[in-house]
Every structure is written in structure tokens, then in C-alpha cells.
Structure 1
Amino acid sequence: MGLVSHIKQMLEDRLQEGGPAGLGYRVAWATAARELGRPVSKEELEAAIAGLVRDNVLAGRQV
């Protein structure tokens, strides 16, 4: 699994666990870095968030 896919999956899992839909940019960034055990670039995080939003919109879920 690529890095962006991993971040996207981590955010999706957090949402499905009942976490807030609006995690907040900084919280999502910190969570991704903590889960991966390394710094995450802004571009990696934005790509993961864009993928998550796109997938949810295509599935007809509200984001």
C-alpha cells in the first residue's frame, strides 16, 4: 500500500470508528505522522484527504 493510500485508510478508519468527520487539518496531520512513525508532507496529507473525500462523494456519503 502506498503512503497516500495508507494515510487515506487511516483517516477512513478513524471516521468509521465514530471519530469526528471534521478531524481538523492539524489533527489529521499529527495523527498520520504518529501512525506512520515519521513526518508526513503537506502534499501527502492533502492527496490522502482528497482521495477520501472523492471516494465518499462517489459512494454517495456526505463528507
Structure 2
Amino acid sequence: MFTKIESRYGYDMYKAEYNDNLYIIQYNPERGEIEQMRPLSDGSTDVVAHLFYDHIASKDNETSH
């Protein structure tokens, strides 16, 4: 669901598809926070943000083993 597009200037950019919508996520790995997500107001952004944080947590668990 999440594909890393690029990393630069301290941010990781991801794209995601959910409910036939394309989302672009700007993630700050140092702070562990989503800085920006587009589109912002389609009603599914909270779900996508939650799924994204789960995705990041599972990646962190893979690298710590």
C-alpha cells in the first residue's frame, strides 16, 4: 500500500492508494511524524495516517531484529 518515492532534505516521501484515492505523504523520520498528506479533506486521511504509522512501526521492527 505504501511506496517510498524519495528521500531528501530530511523527509521521506511516500505514495499510497486507499479507496481508489492516491495520497502523497511527507514523513519526517527524525520526529516520527507525518508533516503533510495530500489530499487533506476526503474523509479517509485519518485512516491512511493510522495505517502509515503501522507500516513505519512494522519496518522499524524488521530492522531491529
TM (norm. structure 2) is 0.47
Q: Which structure has the highest helix share of the two?
A: 1
TM (norm. structure 1) is 0.48
Q: Which structure has the highest strand share of the two?
A: 2
Higher RCO, Cα 8 Å, sep 6+:
1
